[in-house]
């Protein structure tokens, strides 16, 4: 892991096509230090202008990080760096319509709560969507191997579903 101005940098890259890669770096940093993203990208480019041009998006609401386009050669060089934790190829199944939710719905960042007129009905008739890709109960991450018995105070049930019967439930 490399420290840049006191921020830890963890990186990986995702294959987009035969010649283009998107680099996704999770920067553990104060969100007010957006210049740090460009400084970090500049480590892999010859100029700050190239770094700015490669930046696809800067994430700042749910996590602090960024995505950038790189050539295969640049992505390979990046994957060889000590601060790159892991590399993986994207299967390309998901195509989000936007990664810029604030801009997509026409909002500006930092608006105060009083900007919405009182007659706007506070979100009435608004649909909020979310993609839930589900879970895979057979995954090792759900294994209860090595855990003690289920607490007596637990009141849950094992709910069966399509292709999932109660024999697949933990204890």
Return the top range by mean pLDDT from 18-27, 80-89, 134-143, 149-158.
149-158
Over residues 87-111, the pLDDT tens digits come to 444 444 455 566 666 666 666 665 6
pLDDT at 20 > cutoff 50: no
| Fold that domain 2-91 belongs to in CATH | Alpha-Beta Plaits (3.30.70)
* Cβ-based neighbour number of residue 87 at 10 Å: 16
Give the pLDDT band (50/70/90) at residue 114.
Answer: low
Over residues 33-87, the pLDDT tens digits come to 556 566 666 666 677 777 777 766 565 555 444 556 666 676 677 667 665 544 4
Q: How far apart are CA 12 and CA 75, in angstroms?
A: 9
Please compute the mean of the pLDDT values over residues 135-144 and round it to a whole number. 75
Give the pLDDT band (50/70/90) at residue 6.
Answer: very low
Question: What pairs with residue 3 in β-bridges?
Answer: 8
Q: How far apart are CA 154 and CA 157, in angstroms?
A: 9
Whole-model pTM? 0.28
């Amino acid at each position: 892991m490399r420290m840049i101005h006191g921020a830890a940098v963890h990186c990986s890259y995702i294959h987009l096509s035969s010649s283009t890669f998107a680099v996704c770096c999770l920067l553990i940093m104060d969100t007010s230090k957006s210049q740090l993203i460009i400084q970090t990208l500049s480590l892999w480019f010859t100029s700050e202008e190239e770094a700015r041009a490669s930046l696809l998006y800067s994430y700042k609401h749910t996590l602090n990080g960024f995505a950038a386009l790189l050539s295969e050669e640049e992505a390979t060089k990046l994957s060889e760096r000590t601060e790159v934790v892991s590399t993986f190829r994207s299967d390309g199944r998901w195509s989000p319509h936007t990664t810029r939710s604030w801009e997509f719905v026409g909002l500006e960042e930092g608006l105060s709560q009083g900007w919405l007129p009182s007659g706007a009905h506070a979100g009435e008739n608004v649909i909020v969507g979310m993609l839930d890709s589900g879970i895979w109960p057979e995954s090792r991450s759900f294994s209860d191997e090595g855990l003690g018995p289920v607490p007596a105070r637990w009141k849950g049930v094992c709910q069966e579903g399509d292709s999932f019967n109660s024999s697949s439930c933990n204890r």
